[in-house]
Structure 1
Amino acid sequence: MSPTSPGPSHALAGFAHGLRFDDIPAPVLERARIHILDALGIGLASTTFPFSRATLTAVEALSGGGGARIIGTAQTAAPRDAALANGVLIHGLDYDDTHLQAIVHPTAAVLPAVLAVAEQRGLSGREALAAYCVGMESTVRLGTAIAGGFHHTGFHGTGVFGHFAAALVAGRLMGAAPADHVNALGIAASTASGVQLYLEEGAGTKRLHPGWAASAGITAATLARHGFIGPSRALEGRFGLFETHLHSHAANVDLRALTTGLGSEWMMEQTALKPYPVCHYIHGAADAAGEIFARLDGAAIASVDILLPQETMGTVADPIAQKRAVSNAYEAQFSAPFVIAAMLLNGRFGLQDLSDEALANPRTRALAARCTCVTDPQSRFPAYFSGGVRVTLESGETLSAHVPINNGAGPRRLSLEAARQKFMENAGLAVSPDRAQALAEAVAQIETQPLSTLMELLTAP
């Protein structure tokens, strides 16, 4: 592609500028409301966990107040800082949505940018919802184009793609022209990052990636709106996103995924919601462990084989000694042995299983030490995060289960009723049932009222 011919950067800019609310199909809008509801519930739940205190204290020091609200608190901040905080809260429990093929958490970077800019500018929920759909679709298509290639080069896709998506949604809400969007994408190319170093020791930096992306996207859009010039080929240029971040894997990029059917075919519809607050790679195996729990009837377990997609081993299975003996909640969320051990012992895995008491449970730790991770020969990755479990009992009997399509994905995606139940459970950790119910109703009617109505309900009573 020559430097002078229109490419995917211009295509995404045109999409962000030209899409009308009435062009968005009703099923897409319905999924958007469900995912916004899910994210806000997770954000509220996060305010009850220790990592939120460090985040909110730091944001207060950075911002010193402002006109944008932060989920579940009475605290306000400048829009960029509010977006940073809300991104951390939405993604901090690793309970937020994932597009499986793109391997990206789209809402965690997109929604904080939407909320901050739309509130600052006094916009309607209708405008916010349309911008959210633009950001979601852009993020998903970016991830799909590279087919999970960032995981080979050490980058966290959400922390990279989120910069571009947030720049587009912020620009749209600011009234950007197509040229402004192109410049904003070019600026975002110089800020987009997010390395997976957190995997080495369970550090919390992954929580930061979507919020930082939202903040940087707002920055890029604002600079562009005021005449700052960015490179026009942010994605496809010689030193654009694909070349700089993918290296030898850049040859696998499918540029058609960025533009084919853009605006008429909505890939964001296939984004999955999580039934477990752990890395999505573990979900198929967790489903399988739940099936085996129902058949165990208290029998003693000698050993466990966890079947996982080969491509996910480096995230949730290696190094095995560390994964078997987690030291904190964040390590636990990326440990197949710990999660599967807890599922086999309890038949479920929820936020309560990330408490200090649960992490120290000697039965769980002992069983995790007897877990081995092996390649799943029936894996349907990356279309689905398949998985299986094979349990050998002390009696010598073997129990096996395999789940080709993980719960929450594809034909098993969570319904509105299931998503609402998850929201009520999560939101209920931070607010009263009446407040949670009012929030759910506000999201269901988001396009009929000012965005400020929703933001007021998100503020601590």
Structure 2
Amino acid sequence: MATQPSSMPPVARQLAEWALALDLRDVDAAMLERVKLHILDQIGAQVSCYDLPAPRIARAYVTQFGRSGPASILGTAHRADPEDAAFVNGTAGSSFEIDDYGGNGAYAHPGCVIVPGGLAVAEALGASGASLLRAATVGFETIIRLALASMPSMLLGRGFHQTAAHGVFGVALTTAMLERFDLDATVDALGVAGSHASGTTEYSQSGGEVKRAHAGIGAAGGIRSARLARLGLSGPPTIFEGKRGFLQAFCNAHDARFLHEQLGSHWHFPERGALKPHASCALIHHHFAAYDELRAAHAFSAGDVEQVVLGCEPLTVVHTGATGPRPTDIVGAQFSAEYGIAMRIVSGRNDAGAYLDAERDQFQNPAVAAIAGRVRLEVDPDCATQIPKGKVTLYLRDGRVLFATAYALGSPFNPLGRGDIEQKYLDLVSRNFGDKTARSSLGLIMNLEDVADVRQLTGLFAQPRTRNGKPRDALMQG
């Protein structure tokens, strides 16, 4: 377990100094474009998922127990206090497994906390797009650095869910930047955020929709941490590396150096940020890509498949192998490697519509169930590398054995192009808000540094288009 030398300033202070001194003009162009693409992707997720069950519950909670304010709940005309808006929007953005993640072994979900948290605060302040972009850039990089410092041990060894546990720090720092805290208050915001870090992965073992709310909890907790620090509440300056700090409490193995080395001179996020083309746990996207390679290279049908072996890294076995081949709810289906690969073999689809169709069939499609029951997961040394990947081995009824190893489509080693990412956004947003709003908002986000007031962007999503007077849901309409 690597820690920083005792002669160095606390990690939180180093992070705060770096963040507050950052000039957007000094940020690498590739980093800025990557951040804007992830902001784009997350807003697409939020506005297309706003009326799914978990966001509806979050919205009902805020309506009943929250307070009004200047921040938009995207997809609705409702406005709320930034904490409350961040909670609802974060829940929406993480509610159907189409949000971003950290690839190349940096397990994280930065967009679904940084974007709703930062956007809510920026909107309340009437901040410029450049201010939001600057703060979000720090937020994304901080979460990826936290992932490199703490994962996979935090999840694999302890069972914590990284989304809220990492996200609360990123949003606290983002908020401090937007609200122009001084150095001491920013350090305190990070220290207080450690007491809001939360969330376990028991949902992957026995189910539960609460997983959808973890991003909202992290985004709201980050704003609350910064607000408390602004009012004078202090936090431990050694919240990360201390003897009873975050890394020690949450991890069996950790490396604090990722949190402070090369701050400002090396950006990890462009090397690690990943986006999803499929609506499932990102860990099994490697296997979808490997299967697609086999399907393109060989002639066979679903009925020819006798057995499937998924070669995995250990985390994939633990996180996507617990549900088993017969999920009973949609969270279980999206986190079941067996069920997901069986869907791909039978229909070639793992998009949002495919999982919603499976839910309507109560996960009882006989063709999918038959193959899912013949899928086995195992730890494979070819996959359990520093940069994890997935292997699919098919045993066919005619005696052939086919295998392929691949990186997930959308990950840094198998990236989606900018055009693919923008098309995903347009497809999601246009179904609820029309093509004009989709294209206008895309232009604003991809030129965020030139936007005078972020309310120009959020205002586009206050009135969703309707069909027969009823709200349209991009995911449900297909």
- The normalised TM-score by structure 1 is 0.94
User: Contact conserved, 1:289 with 1:347, CA < 8 A, in 2?
Assistant: no
The Cα of 1:233 is off from its aligned counterpart by 1.2
Structure 2 equivalent of residue 387 of structure 1:
390
Structure 2 equivalent of residue 186 of structure 1:
191
Higher mean C-alpha displacement, 79-88 vs 232-241: 232-241
Partner of 1:412: helix, strand, or coil?
coil
1:218 aligns with 2:189: no
Partner of 1:306: helix, strand, or coil?
strand
Structure 2 equivalent of residue 138 of structure 1:
142
Corresponding residue to 1:278 among 268, 277, 280? 280
| Cα distance in 1, alignment partners of residues 97 and 230 from structure 2 | 33
Per-residue CA deviations over 1:270-317 (Å, capped at 9, x if unaligned) read 211112111111011111222333434434322211221123211011
Structure 1 equivalent of residue 434 of structure 2:
432
Structure 1 equivalent of residue 128 of structure 2:
124
| Cα distance in 2, alignment partners of residues 143 and 177 from structure 1 | 26
The Cα of 1:19 is off from its aligned counterpart by 0.7
User: Contact conserved, 2:54 with 2:213, CA < 8 A, in 1?
Assistant: no
Corresponding residue to 1:167 among 160, 164, 172? 172
User: Contact conserved, 1:391 with 1:399, CA < 8 A, in 2?
Assistant: yes
Partner of 1:374: helix, strand, or coil?
strand
| Cα distance in 1, alignment partners of residues 112 and 456 from structure 2 | 21
Per-residue CA deviations over 1:218-259 (Å, capped at 9, x if unaligned) read 11111111222211111112211112222xx2xx32222111
Corresponding residue to 1:445 among 447, 450, 470? 447
Higher mean C-alpha displacement, 186-195 vs 47-56: 47-56
Identity of aligned residues (%): 31
| Cα distance in 1, alignment partners of residues 30 and 385 from structure 2 | 26
Structure 1 equivalent of residue 20 of structure 2:
17
Structure 2 equivalent of residue 345 of structure 1:
346
User: Contact conserved, 1:9 with 1:182, CA < 8 A, in 2?
Assistant: yes
| Cα distance in 2, alignment partners of residues 5 and 392 from structure 1 | 56
Q: Alignment RMSD, CA only?
A: 1.8
| Cα distance in 2, alignment partners of residues 376 and 460 from structure 1 | 49
| Cα distance in 1, alignment partners of residues 5 and 258 from structure 2 | 19
Pairs within 5 Å for 1:263-274: 263-270=264-271, 271-274=273-276
Structure 2 equivalent of residue 413 of structure 1:
415
Structure 2 equivalent of residue 238 of structure 1:
243
Partner of 2:41: helix, strand, or coil?
helix
The Cα of 1:60 is off from its aligned counterpart by 1.4
1:306 aligns with 2:310: yes
Q: 1:337 to 1:184 in 2, by over 3 A?
A: same
Q: 1:296 to 1:334 in 2, by over 3 A?
A: farther
Per-residue CA deviations over 1:98-156 (Å, capped at 9, x if unaligned) read 11222111111111111011000110000000000010111111111124210111111
Structure 2 equivalent of residue 197 of structure 1:
202
Structure 2 equivalent of residue 35 of structure 1:
38
The Cα of 1:442 is off from its aligned counterpart by 1.5
Give the counterpart letter for 2:428 in structure 1. N
Partner of 1:54: helix, strand, or coil?
helix
User: Contact conserved, 2:52 with 2:92, CA < 8 A, in 1?
Assistant: no
Partner of 1:305: helix, strand, or coil?
strand
Give the counterpart letter for 1:361 in structure 2. N
Give the counterpart letter for 2:240 in structure 1. L
| Cα distance in 2, alignment partners of residues 123 and 340 from structure 1 | 44
Structure 2 equivalent of residue 69 of structure 1:
72
Higher mean C-alpha displacement, 324-333 vs 5-14: 5-14
Structure 2 residue runs of 5 or longer lacking an equivalent are: 465-478
Give the counterpart letter for 1:411 in structure 2. F
The Cα of 1:374 is off from its aligned counterpart by 1.8
Give the counterpart letter for 1:114 in structure 2. G
Give the counterpart letter for 1:310 in structure 2. P
Per-residue CA deviations over 1:386-432 (Å, capped at 9, x if unaligned) read 112122223333232221x2221223222210101111222234221
Partner of 1:27: helix, strand, or coil?
helix
Structure 2 equivalent of residue 458 of structure 1:
461
Partner of 2:202: helix, strand, or coil?
helix
Number of aligned residues: 452
Per-residue CA deviations over 1:55-110 (Å, capped at 9, x if unaligned) read 22122112243211012222211110000111111111121111122211111111
Pairs within 5 Å for 1:94-105: 94-100=97-103, 101-105=105-109
